[in-house]
Structure 1
Amino acid sequence: MSSAGDYPVSAASASLTLTELDARLVSCRACPRLVAWREETAAVKRAAFRDWEYWGRPVPGFGPSDASLVITGLAPAAHGANRTGRMFTGDPAGDLLFATLHELGLTSRATATHRDDGLELYGVRVTAPVRCAPPGNLPTTGERDTCRPWSVREWELLRPTARSLVVLGGFGWQATLPALRRAGWSVPRPRPPFGHGARATLEPADGAGGALTVFGCYHVSRRNVSTGRLTPAMLREVLTEAAHAAGLPVVRPGSG
């Protein structure tokens, strides 16, 4: 008899499309600590959102299934994506990310407030290596590894079109590179180190398909932005380079 901890492996491997993967993901209860935290947060709520019906479940990736540029962070925010049910939606990190993508012509609007706000991404998918909001915004290594089958399968399904990846933060970098290796790209040993502006090109291990250019970027967290560790200009520069590597047309800020 299978347990909840076995679910990510069996459900992810059985998913033939991203739509199927996302539908199975939201039923995952593999990590007891994360399940308890996400559901407690959804029940207690933050005072500012007391009228919201929180999502309170794992959060799937968001964006087209043929995306050429992928952006990955750390995990859903307790009162952001855990509330809205969509990655980077409803918190300051997402506000900056989507506003910058909109400046570059890669989204239909500059703001992201809820799942049904009409936001569209053009050639871009946003995701995270851990799909449930963790206490203190810090998953354990065990939770990261338990969640990895979802990312591996997501990358396998994106492999025909994905050509560029922006990883926000060191945790995401360390969590995503092993998933990329399992999904079919060659990752050097030792692994390329994370840093803002880091760049690595991963070739397909089987020689089929295209290379993936991976870009490191400081996370768009409120703390990083408020301290100046990451500025809007720094984020714009990385996203612009990544969009070019993905073959996406970008708008120069101020040009329309």
Structure 2
Amino acid sequence: MPVHSTIKADYPIESADCRRCERLATFLDAVKTRYPDYHARPVSAFGDSHAKFLIVGLAPGMHGANRTGRPFTGDFAGILLYQTLYKFGFANHDESISQQDNLQLSNCSITNAVKCLPPQNKPNPEEIRQCNHYLKMEVNAFMDRGGEVLLALGAIAHRAVLRSLDLRLKDYPFAHGAEYLLPNHSAMGPVKLYDSYHCSRYNTQTKRLTAAMFEEVFTRISAELSAAD
């Protein structure tokens, strides 16, 4: 697959300095004081600007995306994700360390349901709803350019995707390995939503999510994208 330019943001630049959520903004101010070299701001999407495949995670991690400014970069949660992206041809190498590592994604982009680091990695319901404004813009842009497959990492991301598309949560229950044909269509036709457990340290170390389980979801997604070509 050709590698296109990386996404800076699919939503207005105002999000780069968003302070709509007082708790998150105050927390980021404190983090920036403690770690002045950290990004410690809303984290933009990353990937192929023409991607047909969009991955949605939960939120930046303290010493990962919040430090580096790139989703799933520089922390444990990104290890399995980028290894799998590389194995299935969506990335040019198998790890994401920093924004200076020359990593490129092909036909794939990555974002989060919540753009700012939350305390204890737990955004509250109002923060998730507030940030859905930005996710909705990202998902709409993805569909407008012909996006075909969405992958939600975890139940919070799953529900956030559904809210961004104005779909009823009860009609699409979260389950690892679930897939749904969405009523919303992109410029190129139907869109599918796939679910996976989040590739967090807790899930992978407890074997709730194994590499084989994760790769099985990616196998189906790759087949879906290939069939649509």
TM over 0.5: yes
Structure 1: how far apart are the matches of 2:42 and 2:205?
Answer: 28
Q: Does 1:242 align with 2:226?
A: no
**Shift, 1:248, TM fit:** 8.3
Q: Which residue of 1 aligns with 2:3?
A: none
Count of matched residue pairs: 221
The aligned residue for residue 172 of structure 1 is: 157
Question: Is 1:105 matched with 2:89?
Answer: yes
Does the CA-based 8 Å contact 2:114-2:128 persist in structure 1?
yes
Distance 1:31 1:188, change over 3 A: closer
Matches of residues 19-30 of structure 1 in structure 2 within 5 Å? 19=9, 21=11, 23-30=13-20
SS of the residue aligned with 1:121? coil
Task: Mark the CA change 1:139 to 1:189 in structure 2 (over 3 Å): closer, same or farther.
Answer: closer
SS in 2 for 1:153: helix
The answer as to whether partners of 1:71 and 1:124 remain within 8 angstroms in 2 is yes
Q: How do 1:208-223 and structure 2 match up within 5 A?
A: 209-223=188-202
1:57 aligns with 2:41: yes
In the alignment, does 2:56 pair up with 1:72? yes
Q: Do 1:68 and 1:247's aligned partners in 2 also have CA atoms closer than 8 Å?
A: no
Poorly superposed stretches of 4+, deviation over 2 Å: 17-24, 187-191, 246-249
Q: Classify the secondary structure of the residue corresponding to 2:152.
A: strand
Q: How does 1:71-90 map to 2 (within 5 A)?
A: 71-90=55-74
Contact 2:8 2:46 in 1 (8 A): no
Q: Which residue of 2 aligns with 1:202?
A: 182
Q: How far apart are 1:231 and its partner, in Å?
A: 0.5
1:228–1:64 Cα change, 3 Å: same
Corresponding residue for residue 163 of structure 1? 148
Whose radius of gyration is greater, 1 or 2? 1
One-letter amino acid of the structure 1 residue matched with residue 11 of structure 2: L
Conservation of the 8 A alpha-carbon contact between 2:44 and 2:111: yes
Residue 26 of structure 2 aligns with an amino acid whose one-letter code is A
Superposition deviation, residue 132 in structure 1:
0.1
1:226 to 205, 208, 216: 205
Is the counterpart of residue 35 in structure 1 residue 19 in structure 2? no
CA RMSD in angstroms comes to: 2.1
Unaligned stretches of 5+ residues in structure 2: 1-6
Q: Contact 1:100/1:110 (CA < 8 Å) preserved in 2?
A: yes
Unmatched 5+ residue regions in structure 1?
1-16, 46-51, 182-186, 250-256
- Check the 8 A contact 1:42/1:82 in 2, yes or no: no
Q: SS of the counterpart of 1:247?
A: helix
Alignment identity in percent?
Answer: 35
Pair 117,83 (structure 1): closer, same or farther in 2 beyond 3 Å: same
Distance 1:188 1:180 in 2: 9
| More strand by percentage | 2
